[in-house]
Amino acid sequence: MNTLVANRVVAVPVAAPPGQWIGAGGSMIMESDKQTGVARKHYIGMVTMLDILAHIAAADDQDEKLGAKMSAPVSAVIGHCLEGLSLWTLNPSTSIMDCMEVLSKGIHRALVPVDSHMANVAGVELVESASSYKMLTQMDLLKFFMKDHSELQRTMARTLAELGAVNENVYAITGRTRVIDAIKCMKAALLNAVPIVVACNSIEDDSKQLINGKGRKLIGTFSSTDLRGWHFATLQTWLPLTALEFTETVVSSPLHAVSPDSPTTESRELVTATAGSSLLEVIQKAVTKHVHRVWVVDSEGLLTGVVSLTDIVKALRVSLLGNEAV
Query: Could you tell me if 293 and 306 are in contact, meaning their C-beta atoms sit under 8 angstroms apart?
Result: yes
pLDDT at position 258: 43
Question: Torsions phi, psi of 278, nearest 5?
Answer: -75, 155
pLDDT of res. 319: 85
What is the per-residue pLDDT for 144?
A: 92
Q: Are 172 and 212 in contact (CB under 8 A)?
A: yes
Cα–Cα distance measured from residue 238 to residue 116, given in angstroms and rounded to the nearest whole number? 44
Q: Which of 96, 95, 51, 41 is nearest to 75 (CA)?
A: 51
Bridge partner list, 228: none
pLDDT tens across the length of the chain (326 residues)? 778 877 878 888 999 999 888 877 677 888 888 888 888 899 888 888 888 888 877 655 455 567 777 788 988 888 777 777 778 888 888 889 999 999 998 889 999 998 866 655 555 566 788 888 999 999 999 999 988 777 788 899 999 999 999 999 999 999 899 988 998 898 888 888 999 999 776 566 788 889 999 999 999 999 887 766 566 566 667 778 898 988 887 656 555 544 444 444 344 679 999 999 999 999 999 999 989 999 999 999 999 999 999 999 999 999 888 765 44
Q: How many helices (H) and strands (E) does the chain have?
A: 12, 15
Q: Which of 187, 183, 172 is nearest to 241 (CA)?
A: 183
Look at residue 50 in the predicted model and tell me its pLDDT.
83
Q: How far apart are the C-alpha atoms of 36 and 177, rounded to whole Å? A: 55
How far, in Å, CA of 252 to CA of 126, rounded? 43
Per-residue model confidence (pLDDT) at position 267: 43
What integer pLDDT is reported at residue 118 of this predicted model? 60
Pairing status of strand 171-174 against strand 193-197: parallel
Beta bridge partners of 136: 110
Angle between helices 49-57 and 179-189 (to 10 degrees): 120
Under 8 Å between Cβ of 250 and 267: yes
What integer pLDDT is reported at residue 233 of this predicted model? 62
Confidence at residue 134, expressed as pLDDT on a 0 to 100 scale:
92
pLDDT of residue 180: 86
Helix (H, G, I), strand (E, B) or coil at 124: strand
Distance between CA 326 and CA 318 in Å, rounded?
13
How far apart are alpha carbons 161 and 276 in whole angstroms? 6
| pLDDT for residue 260 | 43
pLDDT score recorded for residue 146: 87
